[in-house]
Amino acid sequence: MSSLNLDDFSDLIERPDGGVRRDAEERRQHLAVPSGALGRLDELGEWLAAAQSSVPVKPIERPRVVLFAGDHGVASLDVSARPAGGAQRLVRAVLDGESPVAVLARASGVPVRVVDMSLDCDPAELPKDVVRHRVRRSSGRIDVEDALTQDEVEQAFRAGMAVADEEADSGTDLVVLGDVSVGGTTAAATLVGALCGTDASVVTGRGGEAIDDLAWMRKCAAVRDALRRARPVLGDQLDLLRTVGGADLAALTGFLLQSAVRRMPVVLDGVVTAACALVAQRVAFRAPDWWLAGQTSGEPAQAKAFDRLALDPLLAQGVTVGEGAGALLSLPLVLAAASLAAELPTTSGPSGD
């Protein structure tokens, strides 16, 4: 019997302040720039005002990229262009400043945090602050076995919650959330397919490094078999993550829910974060009001998840590399919306100052 009661999140998570959003909308009517002239930036500014409970909006001063990392046993079926157990090399590239997200983050002046949940390597090979939340070496092969034990899924979920608390307590005011995994998109497609009631072929994409047709068919077969194992546990989201998720996905889900509890906005990246957001929505229906969809990658499961979440991606650049890189590209839009909402002068009426 689980000691973690997910029902508590429905009581703890409130929507961003609707009254403040109305005040922000009213203030927008009195800016010198005509209403609608800034397009979606107006909407983003009003969303930020509600999330911050502040009119005018406060500048975003401490954004951070947070990446949860893990390997997945299903990668041994050659469903990925990357080798099974290869996520450690991806993490090392991030830490060494040589990955796409590291380059983009450095250019933007945004720090990157990596949290190892289930990399298939000796923890001594990575810094202690990266591995301190690790649950196990690689999650199980979800087409034939559970990804995690009951104790492991709870440990991973609580680790995600703890990281969210650490970020909120340290003053992080916006998180760009991503994953670093091999096999993670297979688990993500399974979660989305199970929650949306669709067949494997509808939700199975080609991953971060586009796989060929044969690999895609192997991936479809793995998702199909994992869906058979997922359907009996659809009523329990923690059990779903235990059966066909993984340590990194469980942690991402816990992070998303606790971030909403702490009123900390999150920008979602690719199909893995989208799948975890869909699981989190099933836990607490108000939670998605705290998230933005940073970008659309072209993965079918991501598109289906964002549609169910009623989230409209900010960018459509087709970035599939993962690691939060696509979502980080959308950060300048969010920062611009905050600056415009905070600094544009009013002509008359409410100033919010």
How does DSSP assign 246-303, residue by residue?
A: -HHHHHHHHHHHHHHHTT--EEE-SHHHHHHHHHHHHH-TTGGGGEEE-B--S-HHHH
Instruction: Report the side by side order of strands in the sheet with 291-293.
Output: 112-118, 63-71, 174-182, 266-268, 291-293
**Phi and psi dihedrals of 239, rounded to 5?**
-65, -35
Reference 265, options 91, 67, 44; nearest CA is: 44
Structure tokens at 257: 């829910």
DSSP at 84 = T
Q: Which of 46, 167, 323, 343 is catalytic?
A: 323
Distance CA 253, CA 241 (A): 9
CB 60 within 8 A of CB 334: yes
H helix runs in 144-246, sequence order: 150-169, 184-196, 200-203, 213-230, 237-244
Assess whether 14 carries a catalytic annotation.
no
Distance CA 250, CA 162 (A): 13
The answer to whether the peptide bond before residue 56 is cis (omega within 30 degrees of 0) is yes
Active-site residue set: 323
